[in-house]
Amino acid sequence: MAILIGFGLWTLLKLNQSVLRQQDFPVGVFRALGLTAVLAFGIPSLWLWSVSLSVPAEGGGIAWDSPRYLAVSLCQAAAACLCLHRLAVLYLLRRRTARGRLCG
């Protein structure tokens, strides 16, 4: 499992680099599996953060007594946000490139 998550994070870093350079990033089967692994671990963390921050008065709140788990949860949420954002930007780059090919 650690190898799969490591590969997913490596793929996310490569995706980040190619999007920042505005280059195409071919997403094959293995890269898609790596990004899916990052999202599979990150989206539940995003959900739990949104629930914890939206209902602090009802006792849900955030457990501040375990900083290690708090840091891991923040890192997972950040990786998921970055992955979703970069995939959206990659989609827009590909769409713009395809539109340029049709027009020109």
CA angle 83–41–21, rounded 5-degree value: 15
Q: Please, which pLDDT band fits residue 50 given cuts at 50, 70 and 90?
A: confident
Distance separating alpha carbons of residues 90 and 62, to the nearest angstrom: 34
Q: What is the pLDDT of residue 103?
A: 65
Tokens of 88: 């959206």
Distance separating alpha carbons of residues 62 and 45, to the nearest angstrom: 12
Q: Please, which pLDDT band fits residue 59 given cuts at 50, 70 and 90?
A: low
Distance separating alpha carbons of residues 81 and 89, to the nearest angstrom: 12
Distance separating alpha carbons of residues 37 and 7, to the nearest angstrom: 9
Q: Calculate the average pLDDT of the chain.
A: 87
Q: What is the pLDDT of residues 3-39, one digit of tens each?
A: 989 999 999 999 999 999 988 899 999 999 999 999 9
Is the model's pLDDT at 41 over the cut of 70?
Answer: yes
97, amino acid identity: T
In this prediction the pTM is 0.83
Is the model's pLDDT at 93 over the cut of 70?
Answer: yes
